[in-house]
Amino acid sequence: MPCGIRTGTSPFSTDAKRTFGPMTDLHPVRRALLSVSDKTGLIELGKALSERGVELLSTGGTAKALRDAGLEVKDVSEVTGFPEMMDGRVKTLHPMVHGGLLALRDNDTHVAAMNEHGIAAIDLLVVNLYPFEATVAKGAGYDECIENIDIGGPAMIRAASKNHAFVNVVVDVEDYSSLLDQLEENYGKTSLGFRQWLAQKAYARTAAYDTAVSNWMADALQLEAPKRRAFAGELKQTLRYGENCHQQAAFYTDGTDRSGVATAVQHQGKELSYNNINDTDAAFELVAEFDPADGAACAIIKHANPCGVAKGATLLEAYKAAFDCDRTSAFGGIVALNQPLDAETAQEITGIFTEVVIAPGASDEAKAIFAAKKNLRLLTTEALPDVTAGGKTVRQVAGGLLVQDKDNGFVGMDDLKVVTKKAPSDEQMRDLLFAWKVAKHVKSNAIVYVKDGATVGVGAGQMSRVDSALIAAKKAERMADVLELPQPLTIGSAVASDAFFPFPDGLMEAAEAGATCVIQPGGSMRDDEVIAAADEAGLAMVFTGMRHFRH
């Protein structure tokens, strides 16, 4: 079945379209406890509940905000008989609160205990937690982060969620309208399906919150491999399908503010697909290796591998050079730029079918040019991602997760070791470092030929490094025919290998393709043989001491 056609219903239905099952087990909302750090929509919600005759309980700043709006509110301290104490650390952790949340309304023993101790039922809990994630994101110190770990909120959320047979728990501001719609449709009551839906979201929120706290503490304590590691995400968008049309998929954000596809603004075009998102991320992370202060750069990606990368005096020049590396593969690709998109470059890009263009900004003229290409997605960001920043990458395997540091390894001119009799010239050294940056983003085994600040051949994802060298050279030969050049641009090029050459054969394939200098990690048991072969072929070669496997 073509991927443009999809049958069945996605399990990731949007909330706006969601139904909550049959209207069974309807329970009224008579009493609500509101305690929120984010006051967005609070007054409107409070007024709507009050107009329905719902008694409002609240704490601290939430109670004050409601009272200031003219609403009648009872302090939780009135219910518990204890004042808020210890700088607000203790206020809701009390049987009068948790009994009201946890009591089973259809259990005679629970009802008797409520009557005996004067515990009134709480039918609705509205809580959003202390802004721990935001506190960490702004770079707060250890003590301030600790103070922003919510205790009472998660405890109440978990209690209310467990008792969702009777209790509604709302943790997202965006769900206020859904709650009010339920109450309107069911004459002040909510259905079991709705409460179940709220409970699942609530448990996911506390899980994500605890994940943020535990991972922050692991980093603060510099624990490289804590016994338990948790990961969480928030739904950004549902996707039509995954890598293939029979796979269901969705896109989640991790809460970080890293510039890239997750934080970009989409100006036009249809929704991004799973593969679009994956490839756009690969493209933008690659082009970010090139500081815009050092000149314009462009990366063209296809199936997460670069089919052309180049620098230029202008974005237009960089794009043309990147395109000329492999024009065939560039069709339907992703274009990433390290400077704001201008009109001239935009016009050139529209010359072929392109899926996505991502850049740190775009001029109004460029946007207007793209507007005529309805299927072309234009994404802009505030900045480039910081390629030196740390972080973790996660990959699922059967029965577990592989977690590692993000590959932010950097090699500069001073880190290179010349191992051959011939040393690279300054011009060759610039191309070698360029090739090395690109090789970091090519699937292993990676071979990258570069000449004059542009890739001229890329070999990716082969089981043999020799095959990668051959494929990249063949591509360069084909492009020489297309461009009507007298010889392939690999003649006189620099070549990068993401890992060491285990034998001289791969190196010799690169030499036969015309490479005159080589950058590789070194570290093979046969380094001496490889170096001797390079000397015999008249190559200049440098070792980085660092590899960039990318599987």
Catalytically annotated residues: 162, 303
Sort strands 296-302 and 305-312 into parallel, antiparallel or unpaired.
antiparallel
Sort strands 265-268 and 249-253 into parallel, antiparallel or unpaired.
unpaired
**How far from 179 is each of 170, 320, 360, CA to CA, in Å?**
8, 54, 39
DSSP 263: T
Does residue 338 have a cis bond before it (omega within 30 degrees)? no
Rounded to whole angstroms, how far apart are CA atoms 311 and 344? Answer: 16
Rounded to whole angstroms, how far apart are CA atoms 343 and 369? Answer: 7
Distance from CA of residue 231 to its chain's centroid? 12
- Tell me the backbone φ, ψ of residue 324, rounded to 5 degrees: -75, -5
User: 3-class DSSP state for residue 150?
Assistant: coil
Distance from CA of residue 52 to its chain's centroid? 41
Rounded to whole angstroms, how far apart are CA atoms 542 and 415? Answer: 10
**How far from 327 is each of 82, 287, 309, CA to CA, in Å?**
73, 18, 12
- Is residue 206 within 8 A of residue 156, CB to CB? The reply is no
**449 closest CA partner among 393, 499, 395, 514:** 514
Strand partners, 297: 311
Rounded to whole angstroms, how far apart are CA atoms 420 and 521? Answer: 14
What does the block give as tokens for 239?
A: 């996707």
Measure the CA dihedral 466/472/475/480, to 10°: -110
- In sequence order, which residues have a C-beta less than 8 Å from that of residue 369 and are 6 or more positions away? 343, 346, 347, 350
User: 3-class DSSP state for residue 75?
Assistant: strand
- In sequence order, which residues have a C-beta less than 8 Å from that of residue 509 and are 6 or more positions away? 466, 469, 470, 473
In the block, residue with structure tokens 């392109």: 354
**491 closest CA partner among 507, 504, 476:** 476
